[in-house]
Structure 1
Amino acid sequence: MKKIARSLMALFAASVVSLSISTPASAAGQGSACYTAHVAGNGWDANWSCNGNVVGTWGKNKALEALGVSIGGVGRYCVNAHLRDYGWQGERCSDGIGAIHSVTVGTTGQNRPIEALEIWTEYGYIHGVAHVQDMGWMDEAHGRTIRLGVTGKALKMEAVGLWF
């Protein structure tokens, strides 16, 4: 499954990512958040991380460029990314009818770091934390809608963790 997802992601390497991929079985549980990241110079993470485990890097000056997110147990959810020299990309939303599929935001192959993320859930509270260039770990955000990172300062998001 991961090979298929990686192959699909490679097809979109030069464009804004707008892709739905299957996620690991662990995402099917009530109130779970799983995610994977495309890191500048590293490519896509080989594994999905879930429920508070961090994806990305910190202290290495490497930006998150794309993020695949799968959230279970919250109904419909949407993710939006603020990209350097682009602005808000536009929401990518799950189907909300019980199928567990990820939504992917960001770009690959364009050197366009994610600067901020906004995540909305139909019901249930999500928590998140992000590491931002020159600012370090930001305060935890929580609620039905959360915003991580900063806009207007050209600071890249380097790592993120999500949980319930």
Structure 2
Amino acid sequence: MTTILAFIGMVAAPVQADTEKPPPGISAEAWRARPAAPVFSASASPILCFSGHVQGIGWTAWDCNDGDWAYAGTENQSLSLEAILIIAHSTGGRTCAQAHSKDIGWGAFPCEDDGREFAVGTTGQSRQMEAFRFRHTTRWSCNNAHGQNYGWQKEGCVGPDQYRMAGTTGQSLRLEAATATIL
């Protein structure tokens, strides 16, 4: 993916094309149907955005952390979060994530520069995410998860280039929502 700058107001907008190859685990159909990436204005603060691929719904709208945490998924609907689409802006480093999916375990742990979207998890396979790991290469990062039978876990943060897991493994409990922020 290429990042372009519109010189009027210096707004960064990721370029998306239907011909792009989807990430591992993400179907070509779901990759083409993902929401258009958000457009970022110049910002001194880091911005993180999530879109969740939810069982029976598909991709949700982008949710960005304007003074809060980026959010993907649903609560109290007994629906599985299957994948998370992620993009960051103005962080000065690389954002990384990894999904633990039913019957697969931990998938790839991709990292992307600011303005480049990426996804973790699966689509088109009816596989629930059970946990996710999150990190940033140069900043503190935080994440949390809401899951089947346990609700929201305790929030936690880690230093640069460390990852934190949220959710559960080995218990077959679906992840229903995920949040994260970059400090």
Normalization by structure 1: what TM-score?
0.81
Structure 1 residues 27, 132: CA separation in 2 closer, same or farther (over 3 Å shift)? farther
SS in 1 for 2:87: strand
What's 1:60 paired with? 77
CA positional deviation for 1:129: 1.8
What's 1:118 paired with? 133
CA positional deviation for 1:32: 1.4
Q: Distance in 1 between matches of 2:145 and 2:154?
A: 8
Task: Write out per-residue CA displacement over residues 86-145 of structure 1, whole angstroms, 9 at most, x where no aligned residue.
Answer: 000111221x3xx51111011111111111111121111112221011000000021142
Structure 1 residues 74, 80: CA separation in 2 closer, same or farther (over 3 Å shift)? farther
Select between 99-108 and 109-118 the one with higher mean Cα deviation. 99-108
Match of 1:107 among 107, 122, 144: 122
Unpaired stretches in structure 1, ≥5 consecutive residues = none
Structure 1 residues 8, 55: CA separation in 2 closer, same or farther (over 3 Å shift)? farther
The one-letter code matched in structure 2 to 1:157 is L
Q: Distance in 2 between matches of 1:146 and 1:160?
A: 13
1:34 correspondence with 2:52: no
Q: Distance in 1 between matches of 2:136 and 2:172?
A: 27
What's 1:134 paired with? 149
The one-letter code matched in structure 2 to 1:25 is V
Normalization by structure 2: what TM-score?
0.74
Q: Distance in 1 between matches of 2:19 and 2:167?
A: 27
SS in 2 for 1:120: strand
Query: Does the 8 Å contact 2:82/2:123 carry over to 1?
Result: yes
Identical aligned residues as a percent: 31
Unpaired stretches in structure 2, ≥5 consecutive residues = 1-12
CA positional deviation for 1:23: 2.8
Task: Write out per-residue CA displacement over residues 57-95 of structure 1, whole angstroms, 9 at most, x where no aligned residue.
Answer: 11111000010011230401221110000000111221x
Whose helix fraction is larger, Structure 1's or Structure 2's?
A: 1
CA positional deviation for 1:8: 6.9
Structure possessing the higher radius of gyration over alpha carbons: 2
The one-letter code matched in structure 1 to 2:26 is V
Query: Taking CA–CA contacts closer than 8 Å with sequence separation of 6 or more, which of the two structures ends up with the larger relative contact order?
Result: 1
CA positional deviation for 1:28: 6.5
